[in-house]
Amino acid sequence: MISVIFITGLFFFFHFRGFFIIDKSEREKFISEIKNSPQLPEKFYTIYNIIHPHSLESKSWMHFINHQAGENRYCACRELVYAGLYPFYTKAWDIIPIITMVEKYATQEECLNYYIHKKIKDENIDIQNINELGDSEIAELILLIENPSYYNKKRYPERMHNRVSEILNKLNK
């Protein structure tokens, strides 16, 4: 009985704490920025899902559990919270409730829209129109945002080429 109460209390703690961490005006501003973020092309979501399988599913709890189990799976809302609110909130006790709160208002695709456009702006990646990118350019962009030093085209061109070829092979199957 005590364990059921504890688990229920923990659920409510994570489920509603995000509303207390971020005040109402900041929350509304953050959610409106996410909602008003420009839409990415459909092929972007397809390629992103190849690189990060199941990451666009609205199951932040499963992503968190899988990550704790050693899998490198994150949902787009988690990436958005780190990109949009870092360094203000860095502890898991803060991040998980905020992710849960964001998922109440926005889909994983909307989170990804915000995250990608924010990273392009913050890292000064030179892209005129994201809608005109080809499949290989989209894969390169996602990899660069994910790990810019590891996928640096100037220092490790073969690494980027091999990974993009692998992604395109999966895309064309």
> What is the average per-residue pLDDT within 112-133?
87
Answer whether residue 30 shows pLDDT above 70.
yes
Residue-wise pLDDT tens digits, 149-173:
899 888 999 999 999 999 999 988 7
Q: Return the biggest CA–CA distance within the chain.
A: 60
Q: Count CA within 13 A, CB hemisphere, residue 80.
A: 30
CB contact at 8 A, 153 and 140: yes
The backbone region for 124, taken as left when phi is positive above 0, alpha when psi lies in -120 to 50, beta otherwise, is left
Report the alpha-carbon angle 118-166-60, nearest 5: 45
Average pLDDT over residues 46-65: 76
Residue 91's CB is within 10 A of a number of other CB atoms, namely 7
Confidence bin at 22 (pLDDT 50/70/90) = confident
Sign of CA dihedral 163, 47, 141, 100: negative
Angle between helices 135-146 and 42-51 (to 10 degrees): 50
pLDDT at res. 60: 58
pLDDT tens, position by position, 58-113: 665 665 665 555 566 667 777 778 777 766 666 666 777 788 888 888 898 999 99
CB 73 within 8 A of CB 52: yes
Lowest-pLDDT range of 30-34, 42-46, 54-58? 54-58
21 or 164: whose pLDDT is higher? 164
- pTM comes to 0.81
